[in-house]
A and B are shown apart, each in its own frame.
Chain A
Amino acid sequence: MNKRTALMLCLLVIGTFSFAQEKPTKPKTFKYGKISLEEFDTKVSGVDSAASAIALFDVGKGYFELSPKTGDFVYVFERHTRYKIINKTGYDYANLELQFYKQNTDETKLDYMEAATYNLEGGKIVPSKLSKDAKFSEKQDKNYTLKKFALPNVKEGSIVEYKYRISSDFIFTLRSWYFQRAIPTLYSEYDITIPEYYKYKVNAAGYVYLNPTRDITNQSFFINGQAINLQSVHLHYQAENIPGLKQENYITTMEDYVSKVGFELSSITIPGQVYREFTSSWPKIVKGLKDEENFGSFINKRGHSKTILKDILKGETKPDTVMQLIFDYVKNNIKWNDDYNMYTSETNPKTIFEKKTGNTADINLCLLNLLTEANITASPVLLSTRGNGAHPGMPMLTEFNNVIIQAEIGDKMILLDATDKDHTTDLIAYNNLNHQGLKVNLKDENATWISTEENRLSKRNINLMLTLSKENKLSGKLYLASTHYEALNRRDKYRSATNETDFLKSYKTDKPGLGIQNYKVQDLDNLNAPLIETMDVMLEDNVEEAGNLAYFTPLLFERTKENPFKLEERKFPVDFAFPTEENYRITVDFPKGYQLDKTPKNEKIIVPNDVASFTFIFAAEENKIMITSKISIKKATFSPEEYYDLKELFKNIVRKQAEQIVFKKS
């Protein structure tokens, strides 16, 4: 099992402890429009005591019905929810938005919507119904429609209630049920009944224990007056007193931590029809992908690749050169349209090469197509991006949203992501750094999890060789070298500027007193080499005087001024995406007549297991000082327990880097 999934599981257990519940009580029942006076007095204590609203209950029910129109099963979703609005910030809960999808003749539709506001006026409950002219329908594009509802007469202390039913022709993934939101939820329940024809994989996530139960129940469906009796699986989830979810920094996405349950179809067995399996196991998923016109068959249409390959390779046959040439060709000829997808938008690579633009799958599967045509062994690797959240690990296709490529050259495995011109082999987009990916073997119809973890340190070397003048100006040379993701960022900044002057201007913005001349950038387009920048610098305002003392902080602009981890505790892991090292070195020749006052001590701080460290070394010769400061973060993720070590490390970095070098002037 992947490290990260293990981590999540362990968190889950801890989570169950901290929000441990009494034995689940029987499901509660709520009647629409029946509000009790006590509900107006609802209060929440503890961390949520100042919540802007409270979800009094949120009850969802999912089941299947036979559509009289098509004779097919449709998925029906009913929701009944009630909020108490505490203050004006909570007015957001008095507006409701629901999105609906339509494709050809299949659609999701709203069957009914009942909603009302209740106010307590002179000890009496006064209801105000949602009026007709408070319903709006916004056609967002050709597939999506947003329906919006605004409840009347909302004030602080109001209770608002919604009850609605949605039925959908799309049964592959069923709406996820969220037990948690930004405000506290007193009671949340989800109940779903699935006819024996359908098998779904269930994905439950988050920190809250959901008291799951499962039993079998008999259901009758009627079509043309005839009854079909089926056994159905009945699943029930229930939780009480669920705290509001609070945002934190250095995470992938809050979606990874919210308590929810989701469903994805794995098979259909209808008597008299062919058994259809969708995603019950990885081999089945791969088989499905193989036949998919926007995946497997896209990869196999190699007519166009055949015609262009000769021009790309120009006779080269050495596998790693061939791979590099093809990678460069795809990077330079198809522009990413900012869309993440695991499926291509067209069914033939030729169309993509002609369009010269496409989503991530268009680009990377074109790359795979060409590699395969050139006899390089390569496979697609399915990913869930950081923004999409961690994949639950079990065979669920829809939890992926992206695809990259792994190529094999001899015994070397190389990850390729051609969506950015500045990517190199083994350097994939930042958003893809979500720790693992599923390598798909289309030939053998199987799949294996592989690590996509970036293990190399992305380095930033800053080297300053300066001379201090008697007027307290520093001048000399600055040398910057960046590797991997640090280099990718720098290259992107450089290219995004109108010109070099503009680039230097923005480099100088947070560095008051810095003047730059003779700026040179090396290896801007030699992507496999570190990006090297050199310049002559002049610094004013950095060395200060106090009586007969002159002093400065030797880290200059590179000083870590604040601890990025300020909060006392943390619930979620810290996820930096990739390991880093910042290596700062400065030498200063100081003028005659200056004498070093007491000098800083050397320090080395190492986080347990050496997963992060900080070193500060000071050395002095006659008229010269030399200081080295090195911060290493040697892995990408840190658990909430390790948070304290990180916090302590940065506290020491802030303290040490703030120390002054003091000269006495004679």
Chain B
Amino acid sequence: MRRSILFIAALFAFAKVTAQGIYDVSKIPANLTHNASVIIRNEELIYEVKDQGTAVQTYKTAMTILNKNGESSSRMSEYYDKFSSISNLKASLYDEKGNKIKDYKNADFKDKSAVSDGTLYQDDRIKYLDFLHTSFPYTIEFSYTVDYNGILNYPTWYPASTWDIAIEKSNYTFKIPETITFKYMKSKGLNTDSLKVKDKINYKWNCENIPAAEFEAMSIGLRNIMPWVNVAPNEFEFDHSKANIENWKNLGSWIFNLSNGGQVLPEVAKAKIQSLVKDAKTPKEKIKILYNYLQSNTRYVGVQLGIGGFKPITAERVSAVNYSDCKGLSNYMKALLQEAGIKSNLVVIGNGLPSLNKNYASMNQANHMILCVPLEKDTTWLECTSPYTPAGFIGNDNSNRTVLLVTEEGGKLVQTPTYTPSSNLQHRNAKVMLDEEGSANINIETQYKNAQYEDHIGLLLMEPTDRRKRVMNTLSIPNVQIATLNITQPDKDSPILHEQIELKSSQLLTKGGDKLFLTLNLLNRQENTITALEARKTFFSIKYGYKDEDEIIYTIPKGYKVEFMPKDIAIESEFGKYTAKVVAKDNTLVYTRTHMMVNAIYPPEKYNDLVAFYKKIYQADKQKGILAKID
């Protein structure tokens, strides 16, 4: 007996020593600390599906925070709602040597509501804990369990989804009854282990010793260099609703059934619609009238509760209060059109997100709903939450992506319209009258179309004082006084803004001895370059395709002549096109510049070509002409 006590004591002593040492920062391999702010020491995610509607997740992680830049990761946070609950919360803090400094108590974890921006109400909440320590590095460790009673999706494993995070060890175990099918996608080269345990199959993915990725500008993400797994159900139960989402067709059917029947309008509203469209000749005209009616009579108010996150509020209810979220307003518009005899379909879309993955139907790829009105020759798309934009204009974040059309026959993947770079146009004509003191009277007229219209629509809605402030602060002209400023949208039905500015600059030309220097590109300079990378790893994107056209006519001040003008420039690459030239005629200089950028995703090795392209534009944009006194 005596001996075994000793033995146990020794074992404890041993356990203590190792426990202290586990998180010793000096034990981290040097290749991991290089470029890293955070090291995932040991992360373990276990998700066990019980049946279609219930599951348990246990999560445990330890992270070393190396420096101040990593402090934002020094946090535990987990969302929950009516359909999930968090328990077994534990957290500890360790110093550089791996000695435990403290254990956190239950009272240290905070709980608050998690209502997202622009939403009036939703029932999500968050439990969180901020770990703070005065000196770096330190290690945090925490674990918890989440019970799900209602499932939409299975957890994604993506341990290093942002820059500066290295992984020492991380793994994901996904347990599911053999009888339940599911689907998954994973990063290239990642192995999947599966093992049958009783009536369940345990899938396991793990990774070790992965160095941090260094920040790369314009990146579309780290998915091509870091391990990840997406897992999704084929069938689920959530808030008393059963769904089959094996494919997009079925997912579409589920959404269709949730919304079906919700397009009944009260009699008064029906009469109103009939009177509105009675003189309209074409379906197109009717769509316009009803869309304008929607815009001037409703507003966006987001409320997301349980299944209400997917099921639109009925048209009847919307017509009683005249507000709703994207689903409610799209469905209401559908009801209005239906009353006017026009068929339309709800559309599930990822606003600002990538296209839906054709071969992988899941609930976490979309965040928005719009409406599609298929006409024989000309399909119209309607963004029903925008109170301002013309009918048919859905904006850059909705355009050019694969979306799900919700039809009676189920979901259909379709493509939204594309706004080409040259249609996202900014066209500008400016006249600049220079005088010998270097000051100038300037008149600028600009047109903004499509995506550029969208960028500037805020100006149209601003109060004049604020608008002046904004324009003044964005003009790159020194010492400005604005005389007049007008912004109008001449045609309510087309996405074009017209801006007219008259201003005075008391110091436009810069002196250099007895010469005057004129930066020819007065209004639209690319003021900066991007830095070349030796070995870029991630794909990058030019998110936004556009075309700018500028023409500036300068009147040369009396008593001066042109001493030097730069040569014409034309630069072309797969990223875009640029030209700039200046022509002297009588006492004027006519400067013209065109710049087009093509939106696309490019492979990492092309990045330095883009750097070179931008650099040439940067150099071209700062070219100066020189004026000299006529002797």
A residues contacting B by CB (< 8 A) are 47-52, 87-89, 91, 94-95, 128, 131, 134, 136, 138-142, 146, 148, 150, 152-156, 246, 331-337, 354-357, 421, 495-499, 502, 505, 508-510, 512-513, 541, 544, 546-547, 549, 551, 553, 561-563, 566-568, 597-600, 651, 654-655, 658-662
Contact = CB atoms under 8 A, between A and B. Distances in A.
A334 B135 CA distance: 10
Given A150-B301, A541-B615, 15 more contacts: A128-B321, A138-B121, A152-B321, A154-B323, A335-B133, A335-B134, A498-B69, A508-B531, A547-B564, A551-B512, A551-B624, A598-B514, A599-B513, A659-B511, A661-B512
Interface in B515-537: 515, 517, 528-529, 531
B92 to A, nearest CB: 13
A654 B517 CA distance: 15
Contact of B479 (A47, A150, A155, A563): A563
B296 A156 contact: yes
A662 B515 contact: yes
* Interchain residue pairs A-B with the least CB separation, the first 9: A598-B513, A660-B512, A152-B321, A546-B564, A136-B121, A658-B510, A357-B132, A335-B132, A597-B513
Interface size bucket, B side? 35 or more
B11 interface: no
Contacts of A541: 615, 618-619
Given A498-B67, A660-B510, A505 B531 contact: yes
A142 B111 contact: yes
A655 B479 contact: yes
Contacts of A549: 564, 626
Nearest to B322: A153
A495 B619 contact: no
B478 A562 contact: yes
18 contacts: A91-B387, A95-B301, A141-B112, A150-B120, A154-B323, A356-B101, A356-B132, A356-B134, A502-B214, A509-B531, A512-B529, A562-B476, A567-B469, A568-B481, A660-B513, A660-B515, A660-B517, A661-B512
A513 B476 CA distance: 21
Contacts of B358: none
Contacts of A150: 120, 301, 321, 323
Given A141-B110, A658-B510, A134 B478 contact: no
A502 B465 CA distance: 40
B543 interface: no
B69 A496 contact: yes
Nearest to A662: B512
Interface string B169-197: 00000000000000000000000000000
Contacts of A513: 529
B464 A95 contact: no
Contacts of A136: 120-121, 303
A134 B321 contact: yes
A581 B507 CA distance: 25
Contacts of B466: 246
Contacts of A599: 513
A392 B107 CA distance: 37
A651 B507 contact: yes
A497 B120 contact: no
B239 to A, nearest CB: 18
Contact of B528 (A88, A509, A597, A658): A509
B320 A498 contact: no
B130 to A, nearest CB: 7
Interface in B479-526: 479-481, 506-507, 510-515, 517
Interface of B: 35-37, 67-70, 101-102, 110-113, 115, 120-121, 130, 132-135, 164, 214-215, 296-297, 299, 301, 303, 320-323, 387-388, 461, 463-466, 469, 472-473, 476, 478-481, 506-507, 510-515, 517, 528-529, 531, 563-564, 566, 615, 618-619, 622-626
A242 to B, nearest CB: 16
B296 A354 contact: no
A541 B529 CA distance: 11
A139 B469 CA distance: 39
Contacts of B515: 597-598, 660, 662
Contact of B478 (A91, A142, A658, A662): A658
Interface centre among A47, A134, A334, A512 (most CB of B within 10 A): A512
Contact of B68 (A50, A336, A495, A651): A495
Nearest to A499: B35
A546 B566 contact: yes
Nearest to A562: B478
Given A134-B321, A138-B115, A512-B528, A155 B297 contact: yes
B113 A89 contact: no
B269 to A, nearest CB: 12
B624 A88 contact: no
A400 B517 CA distance: 54
A38 B156 CA distance: 59
A152 B623 CA distance: 57
A653 to B, nearest CB: 10
A98 to B, nearest CB: 13
A553 B517 CA distance: 11
A64 B625 CA distance: 75
A21 B126 CA distance: 51
A421 B529 CA distance: 35
B322 A660 contact: no
Contacts of B101: 356
A152 B322 contact: yes
A546 B626 contact: yes
A89 B458 CA distance: 10
A154 B566 contact: no
Contacts of A138: 113, 115, 121
Contacts of B111: 141-142
Nearest to B303: A136
Contact of B299 (A91, A131, A246, A661): A91
A512 B464 CA distance: 36
A568 B506 CA distance: 13
A337 B132 contact: yes
Interface centre among A498, A513, A546 (most CB of B within 10 A): A498
A660 to B, nearest CB: 3
A485 B111 CA distance: 36
Contact of A50 (B102, B132, B463, B469): B463
A502 to B, nearest CB: 7
A357 B112 CA distance: 21
Contact of B67 (A51, A154, A337, A495): A495
A336 B134 CA distance: 8
A599 B514 CA distance: 9
Given A50-B464, A332-B135, A337-B130, A659 B321 contact: no
A659 B299 contact: no
B137 to A, nearest CB: 13
A531 B507 CA distance: 36
A94 B299 contact: yes
Contacts of A131: 320-321
A561 B121 CA distance: 45
B512 A355 contact: no
A307 to B, nearest CB: 18
A42 to B, nearest CB: 17
Given A355-B102, A551-B517, A95 B321 contact: no
Contacts of B517: 551, 660
Given A152-B320, A547-B564, A659 B512 contact: yes
Nearest to A331: B134
Interface centre among B70, B121, B297 (most CB of A within 10 A): B121
Given A88-B388, A332-B134, A597 B320 contact: no
